[in-house]
Structure 1
C-alpha cells in the first residue's frame, strides 16, 4: 500500500487521525500523529504487541485505562505512554474535542491497519467494523494487534470462519495491497 503524508483518516463515530510523517530512527521508524476525538468516543480496549504509543494532550481531557487497572485522566500538557504488549484504551473524557499529538513506534503496519479499521467502521456505519473486513484484519494482523475483550470462542472460531467465508465470497479484493504482517 502506497501512503502519502500527511495521511488523514476519519471514522463515522467521531475520531480523526492525521499521520504527519514517518520518521526513520535506528531502532525502528516512528510515525508522528495527531488525533481529534469527539466527547465520549475512543477506541476499544486493544493491544499493540510490537509498538509503543505515546499521546500528549493539547486540548481537552483524556480518559485512559490499562486492562485490569482503574481509569485515569490527563489534561493539556500531560503525556500518556502505552508500552507494547499492554492492553489499553482511551477516550475523550471531556465536553469538547480532545486533541492530542504523539507517536507510534515502530510504525510497522499501523497506518494501513487503522486506515482499514476506520474504512470498515464507515462501511458498517457503526463503531463495530464491517464483519468481513474486521475478520480479515483480526486474522491477518493477529501477530501485531489484539482486542482482548473479544471472547476466546469468537477469536478462535467465529472470526476465522467469517474470514474463510469472506475469502470464498471474494470479499477481500480491496485488501490486495495490504502489507504483510510483522512477525515477532
Structure 2
C-alpha cells in the first residue's frame, strides 16, 4: 500500500497509510522507519490507544517500565494513559506499523514534521495540544 503522506519526524520517516478522514475519525495507521537507536521518547496519550506490529528489524517496546523484545510479527498494545515507546535495538534500519485509535495523531505528526530538537518549545507545545506527555528518565 502506498502512503497517502510521508513525513519527517525528527529524522525518521513516518508514512501515513490510513488517516482519520478515511475512517470517519476511528483510526490512523502509520509505518515508522527507524534508524538504529531510534524511536520516540517515552510518552503517554490521554486520547489514543496504540497497537504496534514490528515489520522488520530488532525492536524493543517499553511497557509498564520494562523493555520487552519485540520480534517481527509480534503485536503489542499500549493503552491510553500508560507510559510507552519503542526503539530500534538493532544495527540496521527497521520498520514498525502503528495503529492508533481514535484518529487525530496525524495532525500531531504534521505539526512536528520537519522540526528538529532545536525546535523543542514548538514540539512541547504540540505535545500539550494533542494530549501527550513526555516521560524522560531522571538524570
TM-score bracket, shorter-length normalisation: 0.7 to 0.9
Q: Which ranges of structure 1 fall in alignment gaps of 5 or more residues?
A: 122-127, 152-184
Q: Give 1:100 deviation, angstroms.
A: 1.8
Cα 1:71–1:133 change in 2 (3 A) is same
Measured in 1, the distance between the counterparts of 2:98 and 2:126 equals: 24
Could you tell me which residue of structure 2 aligns to residue 105 of structure 1? 101
Query: Conserved in 2, the CA contact under 8 Å of 1:66 and 1:87?
Result: yes
Mapping of residues 8-47 of structure 1, within 5 Å = 8-13=6-11, 15-22=12-19, 23-24=22-23, 28-47=25-44
Cα 1:116–1:88 change in 2 (3 A) is same
Could you tell me which residue of structure 1 aligns to residue 122 of structure 2? 133
Could you tell me which residue of structure 1 aligns to residue 45 of structure 2? 48
Which entry has the higher C-alpha Rg, 1 or 2?
Answer: 1
Could you tell me which residue of structure 1 aligns to residue 90 of structure 2? 94
Equivalent position SS for 2:66: coil
Between Structure 1 and Structure 2, the one with more strand by share is 2
Query: Conserved in 2, the CA contact under 8 Å of 1:118 and 1:129?
Result: no
Runs of 4+ deviating beyond 6 Å: none
Could you tell me which residue of structure 2 aligns to residue 147 of structure 1? 134
Query: Conserved in 2, the CA contact under 8 Å of 1:54 and 1:102?
Result: yes
Query: Conserved in 1, the CA contact under 8 Å of 2:41 and 2:135?
Result: no
Between Structure 1 and Structure 2, the one with more helix by share is 1
Measured in 2, the distance between the counterparts of 1:41 and 1:90 equals: 8
Measured in 1, the distance between the counterparts of 2:39 and 2:120 equals: 20
2:115 pairs, out of 120, 124, 130, with: 120
1:6 pairs, out of 1, 4, 7, with: 4
Higher relative contact order (CA 8 A, sep 6+): 2
Cα 1:54–1:89 change in 2 (3 A) is same
Q: Which ranges of structure 2 fall in alignment gaps of 5 or more residues?
A: none
Q: TM-score, normalising length from structure 2?
A: 0.83
Q: Give 1:101 deviation, angstroms.
A: 1.9
Equivalent position SS for 1:41: coil
